[in-house]
Chains A and B, each alone.
Chain A
């Protein structure tokens, strides 16, 4: 298995632009998580899905952020409009539950200038 695949690896965008991050979970994993990591706040859960259904989006910072999972093999995290404070590394992770922990993707480093 290729693991959790995220794209793009790096994204530099101007403030106000729309940003879309993509994630392909491991086949057979029915949980998908979006985390954001910054030096100040560490890893923060934004949202997670179970069987393509959003379960907990309480970590989504504000209405500028949205996430979808149209099928078991694909999810997107969208930021519109982007702001400099959104600059961070965004990780996608998948699992079959918490018993075995998560497998993380390589992350997307987002820079908003």
Chain B
């Protein structure tokens, strides 16, 4: 079992819809969770991080964390074509020091 798993997609949503991206992790002791966006040919850029169970909102983005079920999700409201990218989930695995373990990413396509 991979430590951090994501559906590779592509996930296609129409412009203006809500995109829902999911990530599961294997280590129950994981403490912190991050979402990065990566455009094709570019480097990952941090969108959000979340540490506590529940929701965290930042503009059109909402991160959701459920430690009991070991999943974290990212919702993008009012999706725009400019949101089309690969979204990477990253987890600070317990006992892993300060390193982040990344999922392989979900490709999102927002269609006009």
Interface residues of A (CB under 8 A from B): 31, 33, 35, 41-43, 45, 48, 50, 55-56, 91, 95, 97-107
A/B pair count, beta carbons within 8 Å: 52
The answer on a CB contact under 8 Å between A98 and B100 is yes
Q: How far is the CB of B61 from chain A (nearest CB, A)?
A: 14
Contact with A along B25-47 (1 / 0, CB 8 A): 00000001010100000111110
Contact of A105 with B98 at beta-carbon distance under 8 Å, contacts A43-B88, A99-B32 already known = no
The answer on a CB contact under 8 Å between A107 and B97 is no
The answer on a CB contact under 8 Å between B98 and A101 is no
The answer on a CB contact under 8 Å between A105 and B43 is yes
Whether, in the assembled complex, B102 has its beta carbon less than 8 Å from a beta carbon of chain A, the answer is yes
The answer on a CB contact under 8 Å between B32 and A102 is no
Kindly list 14 other residue pairs between chains A and B, CB separation below 8 angstroms, not including A101-B34, A104-B45: A31-B98, A42-B103, A43-B88, A45-B99, A45-B101, A55-B98, A98-B92, A98-B98, A101-B90, A102-B100, A103-B46, A104-B43, A104-B44, A106-B42
Interface residues of B (CB under 8 A from A): 32, 34, 36, 42-46, 49, 88, 90, 92, 97-105
The answer on a CB contact under 8 Å between B104 and A107 is no
The answer on a CB contact under 8 Å between A50 and B102 is no
List 15 interface pairs A-B (beta carbons < 8 Å), by A numbering: A41-B104, A42-B103, A43-B88, A45-B99, A55-B97, A55-B98, A98-B98, A98-B100, A99-B32, A100-B49, A101-B34, A101-B49, A101-B90, A104-B44, A105-B43
